[in-house]
Structure 1
Amino acid sequence: MTERRDMLADAAIATLAREGMRGLTHRAVDKAASLPEGSCSYYFRTRRSLLQATVERLEEIDTEEFTTGLAPGADLNEIAEAATLLVVHWTTAGRERMLARYELALEANRRPELRELFLKAGARTRALLTALLAAAGTPDPANQARLFAAYLDGLIFDHLAGAGALDLTPGDLQNALLTTLRAFAPDPA
């Protein structure tokens, strides 16, 4: 994406987090980006193209954050530590993006074209996690990556939009994630 398109997609993310799907308009994105009216519609003619750019921007940022600090061949302890940092980040500084993602996830159930984009973005993230788990020696990395991604997503959703009953310190969170990852490891013979 170009710098201007990224700026508009970032403004769409902020608008989704603050106003929800009903508040996401080209005009609202222009305002959030502090750009002249009509800027968003110039780059994204339709709502569909704006939603697509938003999903793509979320995936771009998340992939960058997901891979930062994780070297190929990381062990389960390192994966748990990195996942802890991500969950903490995505429930604090990255909170806005997570709220936007949940708005898009719900909308994707009503819009097949958005669902397709959303599923592709999620598949790429799970592929990264699958590679990490395979390198760490888990016996069924593809299925375990899906389960671990769902676990992380559930933790984040509960913290941001759920009942919030699970209030873990970063240390407790890391221990919980490590326990889950160790359950994926092969049984010592």
Structure 2
Amino acid sequence: MPSRQEVLLDAAIAVIGTQGMRGLTHRAVDAAAGMPAGSTSNYFKTRDALVNAVVARFAARERAAWETIADLVRLRSRAELAAALTAYVHRAVGPDRVMTIARYSVFVEAALRPELQPRLAEAQRAIREWGAQWLRAVGSTAPEAECRQILDQLDGIILHQLAFPDPTLDLGRAIAAAVGRPGRPSSAGANPR
């Protein structure tokens, strides 16, 4: 069961995902959490303290979500990897839309406040390690570089689907192209950044 602080931070993430960083106030978090006025400020005295705690909670939640995926997914082919990532993207732009919007809002905040970057980078490293393991399992010769490129492409697809939804986009086909076809290495492995 989440602690009172975690409930407040999860409510703060929901506020960010529905109202953006500008909407993140102590009062808005109290209301979203269904707690009395002043609850958030009891734990986080300033907005900066709240933002720092939100970033830490967000990074922990993102890492836990990918940890769960990593524990459940056992891939044998690029087609299976593409299918798993397609399911992830469908969730990210559908049922998890609020969390995904919060994710991008947090990333923009980290671009403006570099002190937030280390915690997010730590979670990102863990995600890339899992991705590299999956790619290694399906025969990638450059799994780390390929993982970076695939995740960057997924971020682009997700961001565009959030900002400019295209109901005609075949997500499965777009993601299969990013991952590469079964039996053929992805172009990402041949051109690492």
Length-normalised TM-score, structure 1: 0.83
The amino acid of 1:11's aligned partner reads: A
The reply on whether 1:35 has 2:38 as its aligned counterpart is: no
Residue 3 of structure 1: CA displacement? Answer: 2.7
Kindly indicate whether the alpha-carbon contact (under 8 Å) linking 1:80 and 1:178 is maintained by their aligned counterparts in 2.
yes
1:169 Cα shift? 3.6
Partner of 2:161: 159
In the alignment, does 2:89 pair up with 1:87? yes
Q: What whole-Å deviation, never above 9, does each CA across 1:54-105 have from its counterpart, x for those lacking one?
A: 233333443444343312x543222111101000000000100111111111
Contact 1:11–1:29 (CA under 8 A) maintained in structure 2: yes
Q: Is the 8 A contact 2:93 2:100 kept in 1?
A: yes
Residue pair 1:52, 1:117 contacting (<8 A) in 2 also: no
Superposed displacement of residue 35, structure 1: 0.5
Q: CA deviation at 1:110?
A: 1.2
More deviation, 147-156/49-58: 49-58
> How many Å apart are 1:174 and its aligned residue?
5.2
Residues in 1 aligned to 2:48 and 2:86: alpha-carbon distance in whole angstroms: 34
- Runs of 4+ in structure 1 over 6 Å off: none
Q: Quick one: distance in 2 between partners of 1:179 and 1:25? A: 44
Structure 2 CA distance for partners of 1:117 and 1:167, relative to 1, 3 Å: farther
**Residue 176 of structure 1 aligns to which amino acid in structure 2?**
A
Mapping for residues 107-186 of structure 1, pairs under 5 Å: 107-161=109-163, 163-165=164-166, 167-173=168-174, 175-179=176-180, 182-184=184-186
Q: TM-score, normalised by structure 2?
A: 0.82
CA contact (8 A) 1:15 1:24 kept: yes
Instruction: Report SS of the residue matched to 2:185.
Output: helix
Following superposition of structure 1 onto structure 2, how do residues 2-21 of structure 1 map, counting pairs within 5 Å? Answer: 2-21=2-21
RMSD: 2.6
Q: Unpaired runs of 5+ in structure 1? A: none
Cα distance in structure 2, aligned partners of 1:23 and 1:130: 36
CA deviation after TM superposition for structure 1 residue 8, in Å: 1.3
CA drift at 1:176: 3.3
